[in-house]
Amino acid sequence: MTTFRLPRFLATALLALASLGAHAQGQADYPLGAGDTIRVQVFQNPDLTIETRVSERGSITYPLIGAVELGGLSVAAAEKKIADALQTGGFIQKPQVNIALIQIRGNQVSVLGQVARPGRFPLETVNTRLSDMLANAGGATSGGDDIAIVTGVRDGKLFRKEVDIPSIFLAEKLQDNMLLQGGDTIYVHRAPVFYIYGEAQRSGSYRIERGMTVMQALAQGGGPNARGSEKRLRLHRKQDSGGIQQLEPQLTDPVLPNDVIYVKESIF
């Protein structure tokens, strides 16, 4: 059996075309918003080429047809709206309108907290989801929590949702991979930690993993040193009232955020 391989230059060209096609589709789906700068062109009508900024009211002023409301429309829908206005007004028969995005500022999402690259990122398509935007920000850092807090406005009301990021994929909670809108903010808090000290190999603070037990927490600290004993532990846990409760935990007990585990010296 003969295996056919594309020449390297042809394969590279095909990949480039696919990338351009995906980018073009992304621009066509992008919803225009206040602050976006666009270039509008009409085929074979260079006098109608303009660069303009979408106003705070979501409109632009275009030659021959005046004010055009484009806010919230996809680029493709905005092209059709201008073309329809030019044709309906009797200015051009079958106009071919092209809109290019020059600068995107209108529909952005802020990603803050424990992520690799915090900042503001544009919504390049109307189908941008939480996982897409976290990927743009480089994902959560090693010290970041598994929970992402999304805030914004929906239907004119303030919106807030806590999303367990791993469960989207591990527990197939795909509905939590929510669609984002311009003006949304994603915040990833510091991961919950526990503290271990006393006769432990490595005292310090450590991230609490899912379902972590006292035995696993002790292992994070390297276990007891030569003077310590895993049978002589004391746990300090902060109460809702603000007080500190002292416990003698079992190795199978769960570890909660900000727990402090003290490894006592062996009595022998």
Q: What's residue 4's pLDDT?
A: 45
**pLDDT confidence of residue 72:** 86
Distance CA 22, CA 8 (A): 21
**HSE, side-chain direction, 13 A CA sphere, residue 96:** 3
Residue 19 has a pLDDT of 42
Strand runs labelled E in 123-249: 144-154, 157-164, 185-190, 193-198, 204-207, 228-238, 244-247
| One-letter amino acid of 13 | A
Q: Supply the pLDDT for residue 227.
A: 92
CB 183 within 8 A of CB 213: no
* pLDDT at 261 (0 to 100): 97
Q: pTM of the predicted model, to two decimals?
A: 0.68
CB 139, CB 115: distance < 8 Å: yes
- Directed axis angle between helix 75-88 and helix 8-29, to 10°? 70
Query: Quick one: which of 165, 162, 177 has its CA closest to 128?
Result: 177
Q: Which domains does the chain have, with CATH numbers?
A: 12-103 (3.30.1950.10), 108-190 (3.10.560.10), 193-265 (3.10.560.10)
Q: How far is CA 25 from CA 18, 22, 44, 80, 122, in A?
A: 11, 5, 24, 15, 15
Residue 268 has a pLDDT of 67
Q: What is the pLDDT of residues 43-92, one digit of tens each?
A: 999 999 999 999 989 999 999 999 999 988 989 999 999 999 999 999 99
Contact 68, 81 (CB under 8 A): yes
Listed as ranges, residues in the chain with pLDDT below 50 are: 1-6, 8-23
Determine the pLDDT at residue 17.
47
Task: Give, as one character, the DSSP assignment of residue 174.
Answer: G
Contacts 24+ apart (CB under 8 A), 205-212: 207/142, 207/143, 208/255, 208/256, 208/257, 210/146, 211/254, 212/254, 212/255
As a whole number of angstroms, the distance between CA 40 and CA 48 comes to 8
Q: Are strands 50-53 and 37-42 parallel, antiparallel or unpaired?
A: antiparallel
DSSP state of 115: B
